[in-house]
Amino acid sequence: MNRLNPLHIGVLLIVVLLFISSKLVESKNQLLEVKISYQETQKVAIELSDLKKVYADKKRLKKSLYKILQLSSLRSANIVKTTKKSEIILSSKSMEKKALNSLLGKILNANFNIKILKIKKLSDKKASLYMEIKW
Amino acid sequence: MKFNKKLKTIFLDRDSKEFNIVGKVNIVLSPTLYWVKKLSLPVKYARDAKKLLPSIFEDSVPEGTYSYSVYKSGEHFIAFAYEDKKILNLLTQKGIKNSQIANLYFAQTELNTLETIYKVDKEQVVCVQNDIVILLPSVLFAQSKRLDMSEIKHSKHRVTLTQFGHIVDKKSLYKITAILIAFIALVAIELFITQQKVQTVTMKQEELFSKYKLKSTMFQNRSMLKKYNTIHTKQMKIRIYISAILGLRLQKEYKLTQLTLKNKMLVATFSGITQGKESRITRALQKRKIAFKPSFKNNLFKVEMAL
């Protein structure tokens, strides 16, 4: 005898359908979450990568700074360069106003992380300088 | 292990007394519980003939929900129409549970070889007329012998009762089942695709981590980004503020004597400015929307700009 109740089959299929549907909803929500997470990761990654290139690329920053210091306008400025693990200190007890303008112009137009800056006017043509650049 | 045990066979009729059954039994349905026709049909197989049965029985049976079966007997087809629900109800009335039924047979298939007339109970006899098993009142055949059900050799023509055929007919049931299965399949495919997408996005995210050499957690990465953003904002402000200070058009006697950057504060010190004459400097800074704190000390005018 066929003892299968069609209602039981129907209920079973509906239960299966509901179960899979709930899994689908769960999965869709998961997809939405991972998409949001991916977009956020992408945004953070790109921004972080760009900022790191600007402020944490020690090799590039060093190269760029040394290039500035080798400018002919700064050769006579008596700039003392002290390099430490995570920073470089530039100092001059007395330097020409013209040289100072040149140095500041170059450094401020580049992306150095200036931590400390002290410029003191000594006379109409001379000034002292102390600058700490971090990387 | 299956034991080859001969089961008891009972004859079920509307007038049968209530049965007291132990174990399983074979049941032979009385001719009063089904409609039977001997047919000559222009088809070869029983399965083809079965399709024609609803229309063949349509005009000869009372209104109801019928199931049909047919088998071939020589050149003819023996066709049946029966109401599952009525037979099931009768079985219940007579104290027979579904679980106690081994097999169900029509009297037509089991008793069609009877050569004489037999009594099935006090009031009825069974006999075969023109190949059809029929019931007759026993008063006409008082001398007939009692039918011994234990001697019946069962045929292979078993009856299948559809318990819930009266609720949903088979076609509708198949349609509903097919629709539900189709839905399940669609949802399952969609689920599979979605999970694949989740996997793909997760993999792409992992690729981002290795491509950009990110830290293992987003918390660390966000924290680093915040740190670098703070540095960037501060450095931009330093450049804007120094540009504003160096771009000031000072009167000849005014001198910028010192510029100091330390601890998130940029301080510009001017000499040669008497108190109240500093407005040119302050106006220029206000115009560039720079927040500052002016002060005079020892004839020096100081402008403090927070970074």
Residues of A in contact with B100 (CB under 8 A): none
pLDDT at position B205? 94
Query: Nearest C-alpha of chain A: how many angstroms from B175?
Result: 11
β-pairing, B76-82 vs B67-73, is: antiparallel
Query: Nearest C-alpha of chain A: how many angstroms from B237?
Result: 11
**Domain B229-306: CATH architecture, name and number where available:** 2-Layer Sandwich (3.30)
Query: Which of A63, A120, A57 has the alpha carbon at shortest distance from A92?
Result: A120
pLDDT at position B2? 43
B194 contact A CB<8A: yes
β-pairing, B101-106 vs B25-29, is: parallel
- Scan for tokens 């019931």, then name that residue: B135
Taking an 8 Å cut-off on Cβ atoms, the answer to whether B194 and A27 are in contact is: yes
Give the separation between CA B104 and CA B26, rounded to whole angstroms. Answer: 6
User: Which residues between 236 and 255 in chain B have a beta carbon less than 8 angstroms from any beta carbon of chain A?
Assistant: 238-239, 242-243, 246, 255
Residues of B in contact with A112 (CB under 8 A): 235
Each of the 307 residues of chain B gets a pLDDT tens digit; together they read 444 467 889 999 988 888 888 888 999 999 999 999 999 998 989 999 999 999 999 888 998 888 999 999 888 999 999 998 899 999 999 999 888 898 999 999 999 888 888 888 888 888 988 889 998 888 878 777 888 888 888 889 888 887 665 566 667 778 888 999 999 999 999 999 999 999 999 999 999 999 999 999 999 999 999 999 999 999 999 999 999 898 888 888 888 999 999 888 999 999 888 877 788 888 888 888 889 999 888 888 999 999 8
Contact A13, B184 (CB under 8 A): yes
Give the separation between CA B83 and CA B219, rounded to whole angstroms. Answer: 71
Contact B39, B52 (CB under 8 A): no
Taking an 8 Å cut-off on Cβ atoms, the answer to whether A6 and B209 are in contact is: no
Q: Where are the domains of chain A?
A: 1-55, 58-134
Query: Which of A106, A6, A117, A50 has the alpha carbon at shortest distance from B225?
Result: A50
Residues of A in contact with B173 (CB under 8 A): 6, 9
Distance (Å) of CA A97 to CA A92, B11, B156: 12, 126, 118
Whether the per-residue pLDDT at A132 is higher than 90: the answer is yes
Distance (Å) of CA B4 to CA A13, B7, B100, B150, B268: 38, 9, 17, 16, 112
Taking an 8 Å cut-off on Cβ atoms, the answer to whether B211 and A13 are in contact is: no
Give the separation between CA B201 and CA B213, rounded to whole angstroms. Answer: 18
User: Which residues between 163 and 182 in chain B have a beta carbon less than 8 angstroms from any beta carbon of chain A?
Assistant: 163-164, 167-168, 173, 176-177, 180-181
Indicate the Cα dihedral angle B43, B45, B48, B54, nearest 10°: 90
- C-alpha gyration radius of chain A: 32
Indicate the Cα dihedral angle B230, B232, B236, B239, nearest 10°: 110
Nearest to A45 among B190, B214, B242 (CB): B214
- C-alpha gyration radius of chain B: 51
Taking an 8 Å cut-off on Cβ atoms, the answer to whether A10 and B201 are in contact is: no
Instruction: Give all strands of the β-sheet with B145-146 in edge-to-edge order.
Output: B132-137, B124-129, B118-119, B145-146
Helix (H) or strand (E) holding B181: helix B170-211
Taking an 8 Å cut-off on Cβ atoms, the answer to whether B214 and A54 are in contact is: no
Query: Nearest C-alpha of chain B: how many angstroms from A114?
Result: 7
In the CATH hierarchy, which top-level class contains the domain A58-134?
alpha beta
Q: State which amino acid sits at residue A71.
A: L
Nearest to A55 among B228, B238, B239 (CB): B228
Burial tier of B32 (Cβ tally within 10 Å: 0-12, 13-18, 19+):
middle
Give the separation between CA B136 and CA A134, rounded to whole angstroms. Answer: 115
Q: Report residue B45 as tokens.
A: 């197989």
Taking an 8 Å cut-off on Cβ atoms, the answer to whether B161 and A1 are in contact is: yes
Residue A27: CB atoms within 10 A of its CB come to: 20
Q: Chains A and B: how many Cβ contacts under 8 Å?
A: 143
